[in-house]
């Protein structure tokens, strides 16, 4: 990860924590200034306008990693992927966990919405920190859950987020949306496919 991005994230997290807990107005002013500096750092190094960066980085409450779930669904020896409208690249179906839903409930919802299939979650394959994997730099800190699911019904159906739905074998993977999943992570899913004694991986 670029050093500037690490510094900006740390500054933003310190500012967010301080604004959450401080009762001193002078300290609040200092934390607001720290937050402004971090936001400008993100803005200078991205293609986003300052207003867009502010929306991404100014979050209320104590700073914690966001949680992203990805559904691992196999049909025979092929894995389910969806093509994202946002970048035209392929990914495991999934997204951010919504408040009020468990990770299992979230992945059922995401797969049905993005791919049209009905599934039952069966096991957690991995819990990864995106900082430790070959993803592009991101302004926020994310944890990623890979949940294997059994296909029980439904049919392929695109959504406002996805333009194609298909199954791919290990040796015929399409161009991947690496902000969402990497080739190594998909290889991990294939490796776990036939291992009944698979032990959950974590960083």
Span between the terminal Cα atoms of the chain, in Å: 16
pLDDT, residue 1, reads 47
* pTM, entire model: 0.73
Count of CB atoms within 10 A of residue 57's CB? Answer: 22
Token pair belonging to 61: 């409450």
> Taking residues 100-105, what's their average pLDDT?
93
> Taking residues 142-155, what's their average pLDDT?
96
pLDDT, residue 91, reads 98
CB-count burial class (<10 Å; 0-12, 13-18, 19+) for 171: exposed
Domain regions of the chain by residue span:
3-57, 66-202
Q: How many CA atoms lie within 13 A of 175 on its CB side?
A: 4
Q: In this predicted model, what pLDDT tens digit does every residue of 10-65 receive, in sequence order? A: 777 787 778 777 888 888 888 888 888 877 777 776 665 656 655 555 566 666 78
Q: In this predicted model, what pLDDT tens digit does every residue of 71-91 receive, in sequence order? A: 999 999 999 999 999 999 999
Distances (CA, A) of 23 to 12, 19, 32, 172: 19, 9, 13, 57
pLDDT, residue 46, reads 64
pLDDT, residue 161, reads 94
pLDDT higher than threshold 80 for residue 137: no
User: What percentage of the chain exceeds 70 in pLDDT?
Assistant: 87
Higher pLDDT, 3 or 176: 176
The CATH superfamily label for domain 66-202 reads: Nucleoside Triphosphate Pyrophosphohydrolase (3.90.79.10)
CB-count burial class (<10 Å; 0-12, 13-18, 19+) for 193: middle
CB–CB of 73/146 below 8 Å?
no
Angle at CA of residue 68, ends 64 and 73, nearest 5°? 160
- The span from the CA of 110 to the CA of 15, in Å, is 33
Q: In this predicted model, what pLDDT tens digit does every residue of 118-127 receive, in sequence order? A: 999 999 999 9
Which residue's structure tokens are 């979050």? Answer: 59
3-state secondary structure string, the chain?
Answer: CCHHHHHHHHHHHHHHHHHHHCCCHHHHHHHHHHHHHHHHHHHHCCCCCHHHHHHHHCCCCCCCCEEEEEEEEEECCEEEEEEECCCCCEECCEEECCCCCCHHHHHHHHHHHHHCEEEEEEEEEEEEEHHHCCCCCCCCCEEEEEEEEEEEEECCCCCCCEEEEEEECHHHCCCECCCCCCHHHHHHHHHHHCCCCCCCEEC
């Amino acid at each position: 990860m670029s050093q500037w991005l690490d510094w900006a994230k740390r500054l933003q997290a310190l500012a967010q924590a301080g604004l959450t807990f401080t009762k001193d107005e002078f300290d609040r002013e200092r934390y607001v200034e720290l937050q402004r500096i971090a936001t400008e750092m993100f803005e200078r190094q991205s293609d986003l306008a300052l207003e867009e960066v502010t929306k991404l980085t100014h979050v209320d409450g104590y700073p914690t990693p966001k949680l992203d779930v990805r559904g691992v669904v196999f049909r025979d020896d092929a894995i389910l992927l969806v093509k994202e409208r946002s970048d035209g690249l392929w990914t495991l179906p999934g997204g951010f966990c919504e408040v009020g839903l468990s990770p299992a409930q979230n992945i059922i919802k995401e797969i049905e919405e993005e791919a049209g299939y009905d599934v039952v979650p069966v096991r957690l394959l991995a819990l990864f920190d995106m900082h430790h994997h070959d993803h592009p730099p991101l302004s926020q800190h994310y944890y990623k859950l890979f949940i294997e699911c059994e296909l029980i019904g439904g049919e392929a159906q695109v959504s406002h987020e996805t333009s194609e739905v298909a199954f791919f074998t290990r040796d015929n993977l399409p161009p991947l949306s690496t902000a969402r999943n990497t080739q190594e992570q998909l290889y991990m899913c294939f490796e776990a496919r036939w291992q009944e004694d698979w032990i959950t991986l974590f960083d």
